[in-house]
Structure 1
Amino acid sequence: SCFLSNIEDITIYCCNTNSTVHPENEEWTCFEQSASLDIKSFFGFESTVEKIAMKQYASSIKKGKEIIEYYLRELEEEGLTCVPRWSPCPPSPTKPVVPLVIPALPITPTISIEAPPESVNEIQGCKEDKLDADYIKRYLGDLTPLQESCLIRLRHWLQETHKGKIPKDEHILRFLRARDFNIDKAREILCQSLTWRKQHQVDYLLDTWSSPQVLHDYYTGGWHHHDKDGRPLYILRLGHMDTKGLVRALGEESLLRHVLSINEEGLRRCEENTKVFVRPISCWTCLVDLEGLNMRHLWRPGVKALLRIIEVVEANYPETLGRLLILRAPRVFPVLWTLVSPFIDENTRKKFLIYAGNDYQGPGGLVDYIDKEIIPDFLGGECMCEVPEGGLVPKSLYRTAEELENDEIRLWTETIYQSASIFKGAPHELLIEIIDASSVITWDFDVCKGDVIFNIYHSKRAPQPPRKDPLATHGITSPAGNNVQLIDKSWLLGQDYSMVESPLTCKEGESVQGSHVTRWPGFYILQWKFHSMPACATTNLPRVDDVLATLQVSSHKCKVMYYTEVLGSEDFRGSMTSLESSHSGFSQLSAATTSSSQSQSSSMISR
């Protein structure tokens, strides 16, 4: 803020907040907020600063929503379900009108309600199902009874909905700590991260990713022993790195994948140090040397790549950074910090220690966190550091924009999963042709956004080619670029095609695996359809989410990530007994297929 106060070309207009009666329901209140920002000059980063401002503004709106919801819950707990509409009182003919003075509400800090229990019985169950005290002390660290209860409850929820792929307690605990042990918030970001890891095969990154030689030669970062707390130490000589050369030679996606491999390696080293030091070590220390940092490092595509990397790491590796030591910060550092800091979580920013010049060499400096004998030689220590010194990447290694684009497409399409968008009235459908009866169709999909209904249909005749979006005929680009519809509207269910499985409703964040043993040859259509939410129960005091859902048309969109495979009956490994024994009680599809012997089909559902 001190740096921004010296810039006279930034003009911020005040925010406006209005409340109006909802046009369709006079019992509801709409809250509207608007603001404007005019940036005339900021070192060529005007658009980036605008995005930063919008992100901060969106964060403020979210916090306002939480405050409104908090006071609505307070009213409900007091038994107040209806607030009469305010109307001015007519003035008394004999008494003077006394103005109504409303006392100002006290300004409260950020409201954080730590994982309220769904019921008393659930809390009592958690108390009975405690973790072993030695296990907590050895691998997890200090936990209060409430924190231990939150970990157990979230782990149980994952066991019920994500069978076969439960992350370790240390991994779950990081997401809980990142959201102050609010289970709902931690569950949301954890499910998003698990979907992201599956889509990009991050669990196998250390085994499959091979860094290009240019990274070995010019990426000025590497692991170097550990700090005084036993945390793995990563050193990054950012001031010596040719960010422009690396982006031009590798592309943004390769740099991102390299950074992800560093984070995965950090998690592995934390597990190793936990065994070596016989105490829980769940995060690492990063030392960033900024000697040599100048305006050349503020190259726009390089800053853009850095911001994206920070965003991905913040979302999927929370609470993995124990401390960040920034050494020899030059005068240009405030400009970079102004651009980067809004994208870093507030809890993470608290772990930053910044030293200018040689301040790190005195008391309270580097020796307080790193043993003197392992301080790198380029920082005045005696330990040889194997981190590359960097330098300019030769222009002969630069690649054309077309080469970089093709390489980036290859990197992120190596995954076996495909993604699709589902809209209200526009399901996504996948055609599978079966030649031999008794083949096995298997599927594995994650519901990334919204709720969907999964159906399987059979038809003796092939559907027509996918219908083109009617918007395209008018020169308008349809938002459903990866949405395919095969079943013609003129087809009649039971005549042109038939349903071979009972519909399955899948909630957001769920993972579903299943199989179907085909009875007839022909064409099978897997369909994901938008699930319309039932009408909300009418109450005199509506919830904020109900009002917002009415106003947001964009909520009528779902997204799934799926993989399918067809196996011959002789190649299918797994008996019907094993399929029946592994179905989930949450699945009506599984219950229907395993109880019906006439359909000769079976399903295996795991969420």
Structure 2
Amino acid sequence: MVQKYQSPVRIYKYPFELVMAAYERRFPTCPQIPVFLGSEVLHESRSADGAVHVVERSCRLRVEAPRLLRKIAGVEHVVFVQRNVLNWRERTLLIEAHNETFASRVVVKENCSYSVHPENEDWTCFEQSASLDVRSFFGFENALEKIAMKQYTANIKRGKEVIEHYLSELLSQGISHMPRWTPSPACKEGARSLTEPGAHGAPDAMGHSSNPGPVPEAILGPDDKLDAEYIERCLGHLTPLQESCLVQLRLWLQETHKGKIPKDEHILRFLRARDFHLDKARAMLCQSLSWRRQHQVDLLLQTWRPPALLEEFYAGGWHYQDTDGRPLYILRLGHMDTKGLMKAVGEEALLQHVLSVNEEGQKRCEGNTKQFGRPISSWTCLVDLEGLNMRHLWRPGVKALLRMIEVVEDNYPETLGRLLIVRAPRVFPVLWTLVSPFINENTRQKFLIYSGSNYQGPGGLVDYLDRDVIPDFLGGDCVCNVPDGGLVPKSLYLTEEEQEHADQLRQWRETYQAASVFRGAPHEVAVEILEAESVITWDFDILRGDVVFSLYHTKQAPGPGPLEPTDRDRVPGASCSLVESPLVCREGESIQGSHVTRWPGVYLLQWRMRGPDSVACSLQGSEDVLPALHSPGPRCKLLYYYEVLASEDFRGSMSSLESCTSGFSQLSATTSSTSSGQSHSSSLVSR
């Protein structure tokens, strides 16, 4: 398995030329990096004008490994070949290297780059990346991999300290400025090869050569590749490997994710939840981002308004912060009629409210980070269980609680810093037995449970909350504005019909996906078909605006971005072809259809915003629509569902929609501005 390291952007607040002067002082020896045993220049050259200086050298490094491993390998040092390219005109230094020793068994590559900060020409950026691939090593592959990565990351900080040491040395000698390069007649003698030791090529963070690896990408600003100082100040202390995981995952999202990139604090929570296992964290985060997009969670704080009944009877609310600066949420669960709330507002409304609390918690963490000047990424919850009884163990209520726990665990990992449970009654162990298996082990370790009144003395709340924020109902002096809860009157319960509709709404939300369509930015879904004669079925409702729906076939998955208009007229069998005539779909309509595939490959379901003069629905008609689709304008909204069936399984299945009315159109009627939703059924078969 290839191990990779990617550093954040480290910034020296000194000009590039001064940093290069410090860099040169690392030669011919560097006492700060004792594993570097020496080097030999293999080749050195300069450009005709002297602007570019290239040095290639062989570097010897002492092997820091257990004696047994060194004895088996039969070496006490390893050799790396490095190549430095210093460009004075562009003010960059690119360093790349690879190992020569055991090159057939172990492949080590590293790159480093120094460049001018994109926003401040008097600062210098440093970036570093490396990869380690242990292909075979006498049966010690795993051991060598761990030793090498541990040694590498341990020396990363040392490499930065070396530059800072020589910068301080220059400043102490009164050298605080170095002139920038300008062409000199003496430098225009043409390229020449030199054999004397050069000034560029030093051992660096790995402790070995002056930084090995492939040629790096162009340096981006700290907003694109995280700045190490920003990480320390806003995210907290991370080990080099943890920094690397954060940078790699963020870069991966920038390259592959369509839509808004989550904040670094958000990405970091998923890495922590998976112990910085990059692949596991990536999978968890991608699933959560899909969930957020489907349920439009990013807009929840702007769109969710709790019913008045919830505001009156939901006994929870925010209350200052704990001693660590974490936002404090108080939940008087024992005073809350969970059964009554379920029957009065429904499970979906309760879940939405819980999600809004978690969204607000993240927002408050950001605010407290700025207020207290240190990273605060989680919040504290104080749960008062006085009054908890068997009514709270109502089976549908417990089932809903478990669902909420699952949703929060999957999508808000590492947001809970501490859970303080006070006045736990005798019935609490029964509830704990039911819910604890569904709570992540890392989260359970943050629970502190107090029974009776033992929360009042030493080791109790005073260890985590200042006395002036402990609520009055727990013996403190602070008036708490959290609602008292109480029994919900049965007269406020939903009728059976309303409850059934709420259940349908929840099922639809779990089945259908939400999408937004902007002018010039259609929504596309790629469906891979492995065998011909499959059936693609779809069902979607237009909640806002008018769209044009089309179906395309392509032999391979398309690249990022929507299909271009020039791709629309290609004939079947070409790289991309239109296989269903575009269908104009108006606001409030519910559309169902199916398509029998003729070829394997990738089929694209596409929704484009309808232009003001567009008309249905032929290949020629779609050409007239195209110019209007790329003008700026508002967005359309839709909910959709699709499925792929084998042709023999299609007839008689739930997806074989032959009626002119979709039951799902009821949702359209309640969520769109139109009072009635017309329906169309288009059982379309390829020609």
Aligned residue among 430, 434, 452 for 2:528? 452
Per-residue CA deviations over 1:410-436 (Å, capped at 9, x if unaligned) read: 46768997489xxxxxxxxxxxxxxxx
2:425 alignment partner in structure 1: 330
2:460 alignment partner in structure 1: 365
TM-score in terms of structure 1 length: 0.55
The one-letter code matched in structure 2 to 1:573 is: H
Structure index of larger Rg: 2
8 A contact 1:239–1:293 mirrored in 2: yes
Distance 1:483 1:444, change over 3 A: closer
Indicate the SS of the match to 1:572: helix
The one-letter code matched in structure 2 to 1:444 is: H
1:320 alignment partner in structure 2: 415
Distance 1:224 1:79, change over 3 A: same
2:555 alignment partner in structure 1: 503
Cα offset, 1:516, TM superposition = 4.0
Residue correspondence of structure 1 range 84-95 to structure 2 within 5 A: none
Distance 1:139 1:122, change over 3 A: farther
Asked if 1:349 is matched to 2:444, the reply is yes
2:628 alignment partner in structure 1: 571
Consecutive unaligned residues of structure 2, counting only runs of 5 or more, are 1-132, 140-148, 154-211, 540-549, 571-577, 584-593, 612-624, 633-687
Aligned residue among 468, 471, 491 for 1:376? 471
Per-residue CA deviations over 1:66-114 (Å, capped at 9, x if unaligned) read: xxxxxxxx9985688xxxxxxxxxxxxxxxxxxxxxxxxxxxxxxxx99
Per-residue CA deviations over 1:136-174 (Å, capped at 9, x if unaligned) read: 122110011111111111111101111441111111111
Distance 1:565 1:532, change over 3 A: same
Distance 1:141 1:523, change over 3 A: same
Residue correspondence of structure 1 range 442-521 to structure 2 within 5 A: 443-445=522-524, 452=528, 502-505=554-557, 513-514=562-563, 516=565
The one-letter code matched in structure 2 to 1:503 is: K
1:52 alignment partner in structure 2: none
1:240 alignment partner in structure 2: 335
Indicate the SS of the match to 1:324: strand
- In the alignment, the residues of structure 2 paired with residue 335 and residue 246 of structure 1 have an alpha-carbon distance, to the nearest angstrom, of 21
Cα offset, 1:503, TM superposition = 3.4
The sequence identity of aligned pairs, in percent, is: 59
Indicate the SS of the match to 1:302: helix
- In the alignment, the residues of structure 2 paired with residue 574 and residue 177 of structure 1 have an alpha-carbon distance, to the nearest angstrom, of 43
1:254 alignment partner in structure 2: 349
The one-letter code matched in structure 2 to 1:157 is: W
The one-letter code matched in structure 2 to 1:452 is: E
Consecutive unaligned residues of structure 1, counting only runs of 5 or more, are 1-73, 81-112, 421-439, 455-465, 470-479, 485-497, 534-557, 576-607
Q: Once superposed, what is the RMSD of the aligned Cα atoms? A: 4.4
Cα offset, 1:565, TM superposition = 3.9
8 A contact 1:443–1:515 mirrored in 2: no
Per-residue CA deviations over 1:212-266 (Å, capped at 9, x if unaligned) read: 0110111000000011111100000000110110111111111101100110111
Cα offset, 1:571, TM superposition = 3.1
1:211 alignment partner in structure 2: 306
Distance 1:147 1:221, change over 3 A: same
Residue correspondence of structure 1 range 68-467 to structure 2 within 5 A: 77=136, 121=213, 131-410=226-505, 418=513, 443-445=522-524, 452=528
8 A contact 1:240–1:389 mirrored in 2: yes
The one-letter code matched in structure 2 to 1:443 is: P
Indicate the SS of the match to 2:261: coil
1:435 alignment partner in structure 2: none
Indicate the SS of the match to 1:262: helix
Indicate the SS of the match to 2:486: coil
8 A contact 1:418–1:563 mirrored in 2: no
* Larger RCO (CA within 8 A; separation ≥ 6): 1
> Which structure's residues are more often strand, by fraction?
2
The one-letter code matched in structure 1 to 2:581 is: F
Per-residue CA deviations over 1:278-311 (Å, capped at 9, x if unaligned) read: 1111110000000011111100000000000000
Distance 1:369 1:216, change over 3 A: same
Indicate the SS of the match to 1:358: coil
Cα offset, 1:406, TM superposition = 1.7
Distance 1:126 1:402, change over 3 A: farther
- In the alignment, the residues of structure 1 paired with residue 277 and residue 218 of structure 2 have an alpha-carbon distance, to the nearest angstrom, of 16
- In the alignment, the residues of structure 2 paired with residue 371 and residue 531 of structure 1 have an alpha-carbon distance, to the nearest angstrom, of 68
Indicate the SS of the match to 1:239: helix
Per-residue CA deviations over 1:392-450 (Å, capped at 9, x if unaligned) read: 10001111233123235446768997489xxxxxxxxxxxxxxxxxxx99632467xxx
Indicate the SS of the match to 1:280: coil
2:209 alignment partner in structure 1: none
- In the alignment, the residues of structure 2 paired with residue 147 and residue 347 of structure 1 have an alpha-carbon distance, to the nearest angstrom, of 18
The one-letter code matched in structure 1 to 2:522 is: W
8 A contact 1:417–1:563 mirrored in 2: no
The one-letter code matched in structure 1 to 2:523 is: D
> Which structure's residues are more often helix, by fraction?
1
- In the alignment, the residues of structure 1 paired with residue 603 and residue 326 of structure 2 have an alpha-carbon distance, to the nearest angstrom, of 39
The one-letter code matched in structure 2 to 1:523 is: S
8 A contact 1:178–1:319 mirrored in 2: yes
Indicate the SS of the match to 1:341: helix
Indicate the SS of the match to 1:361: coil
Asked if 1:523 is matched to 2:581, the reply is yes
Distance 1:514 1:371, change over 3 A: farther
